[in-house]
Amino acid sequence: MHWTTIADRWRLLAIPVVLAVFVAAWVAHPAYQMADFSAFPAAGFDTTVVSQEADFEQGFASSDLHDFVHSPSVAALPGGDLMAAWFAGSREGAADVEIRGARYDAISGVWGDEEILVTREMTRRAIGKPIRKLGNPVIAFAPDQRLWLFYVSVSVGGWAGSAVNAMVSDDLGVSWSKPRQLVTTPFVNISTLVRTAPVFHADGSIGLPVYHEFLGKFPEYLYMDAEGRVIDKFRIADGTNSLQPTVVPLSPKRAVALLRQAGDEGHVLATVTEDAGRTWQPEREVAPWNPNTSLAAVRSAAGSLLVAQNNLIDGRFNLSLDETTESLSEWSLVTSLDASPDPWGKPFPQLRYKELLSEKFLTSSGLARQSLLDEYLNEIDQRMCRNGMCDFEYEYPYMIRATDGRYHLVYAWNNSFIKHVAFNDAWLEAQL
């Protein structure tokens, strides 16, 4: 009994020592030089295949009428096709949420029917652990011609208990590998979420902007090899109130990250890296307001940044496209992409709301979805109305610039559809 007790004590003493060594090994970044960003310079864009006339296009990527939809992303495929992904279910965080997607055909200019990409059960079988809910898919086309899909799953608790999963397709999304969970923390592997577009480095490695919500809120830069194996991760900001970083390379080593302000009221936050994502300057506030909501940014052909955001003190009733300098010191409005008819975002009585929503639907839907209007109007009171008063809501933008120079933006439209907007440099110049 005496020897057993001594052995047990040694084991108890050894546990914190082993944990300390493990943590030290995890956080001690090896002395390697990260590869340059491959998204720069812009000379890799072939804009000759895009019309030089001002061109603006909009339509719904999703087609289901009955589910709440949220957190979309989009990838540009060879030949001008697109593939979008989002999550859909009875509500955010519900057990019935699925990761869905749809494909855009560049020749016909039409989005196809949506399909199920991932379910809870598919994820559970693949990773071998219980899955309570899914969320936030990020789809991206890599320079090696493979299509990646990252998404969030939760096994225990809320979003703070999340992990990131990865799938890859070698045939442009026709078939996918089994989900694989990324190991991003040494213990339990919880509280890593993804929302914004990855950045590809010149050697094929992947920089995935992620964020943390357990015992604090802060963004990180997850550095992976070309096969999606985690090499390292770096803190983007040390604060407790920033989420969902959108990273835009400005030179081979320099990039800016715009951050969601996770407080009740505040401005967009920003930080800069000068060593391809390894270290980041202290975060700072910039001019636009951010009502605790996601934003997206890309570099334009002129070298400025285009930012899709809810530049509002409160609410998500207006989604604007803004332009700013690389220094983020000067901002100007390009256009309002979608907005409530009321400039202050006040709700409308349901009858009036249906009239206004009908107009917006017919403008936004694209020809392929216009036949859904009457059936859709029977569903709106479940999603956008409370006590006979109804709101407009446009949120969670995700924006890319395709290699043909065309810009593509997707966002959640009134919790009901995923809307796609596309435009070229000629249209952008006309707005400016």
Structural domain contains residue 22: no
| Res 1 pLDDT > 50 | no
How far apart CA 166 and CA 189 sit, in angstroms, is 14
How far apart CA 414 and CA 20 sit, in angstroms, is 48
pLDDT of residue 12: 54
Which is more confidently placed, 33 or 64? 64
Structural domain contains residue 21: no
Structural domain contains residue 303: yes
Which is more confidently placed, 414 or 31? 414
Average pLDDT of the residues in 80-99 = 96
Q: Which helix (H) or strand (E) holds 270?
A: strand 267-273
| Res 117 pLDDT > 60 | yes
* Burial profile 391-421: b = 16 or more Cβ within 10 angstroms, e = fewer: bbbbbbbbbbbbbbbbbbbbbbbbbbbbbbb
Average pLDDT of the residues in 117-144 = 96
Instruction: List the one residue out of 188, 164, 166, 163 whose CA is nearest residue 179.
Output: 166
Average pLDDT of the residues in 418-430 = 96
Average pLDDT of the residues in 310-331 = 97
Instruction: Return mean pLDDT, the chain.
Output: 91
Structural domain contains residue 269: yes
How far apart CA 396 and CA 273 sit, in angstroms, is 24
The DSSP 8-state label assigned to residue 274 in this structure reads S
* Burial profile 304-337: b = 16 or more Cβ within 10 angstroms, e = fewer: bbbbbbbbbeebbbbbbbbbbebebeebeebeeb
Confidence of residue 187 (pLDDT cuts 50, 70, 90): low
Average pLDDT of the residues in 45-53 = 78
Instruction: Give this prediction's pTM.
Output: 0.92
Instruction: List the one residue out of 376, 329, 387, 398 whose CA is nearest residue 64.
Output: 376
> How many beta carbons lie within 10 A of that of residue 286, not counting itself?
19
| Res 42 pLDDT > 70 | no
Structural domain contains residue 240: yes
| Res 308 pLDDT > 80 | yes
Which is more confidently placed, 39 or 153? 153
pLDDT of residue 19: 53
| Res 6 pLDDT > 70 | no
| Res 28 pLDDT > 70 | no
pLDDT of residue 191: 82
Structural domain contains residue 386: no
Q: What is the DSSP string of 363-430?
A: HHS-GGGGGGHHHHHTTGGGTTEETTEE---EEEEEEEE-TTS-EEEEEEETTTEEEEEEE-HHHHHH
Structural domain contains residue 382: no
CATH number, domain with residue 81: 2.120.10.10
Helices of type H across 140-198: none
Q: Which helix (H) or strand (E) holds 361?
A: helix 350-364
pLDDT over 70, % of the chain: 91
| Res 18 pLDDT > 50 | no
Structural domain contains residue 120: yes
Average pLDDT of the residues in 44-62 = 86
pLDDT tens track for 189-233? 778 999 999 999 999 999 999 999 887 899 999 999 999 999 999
How far apart CA 402 and CA 91 sit, in angstroms, is 32
Domain residues for the domain of 225 are 37-345+392-431
Q: What is the domain count for the chain?
A: 1
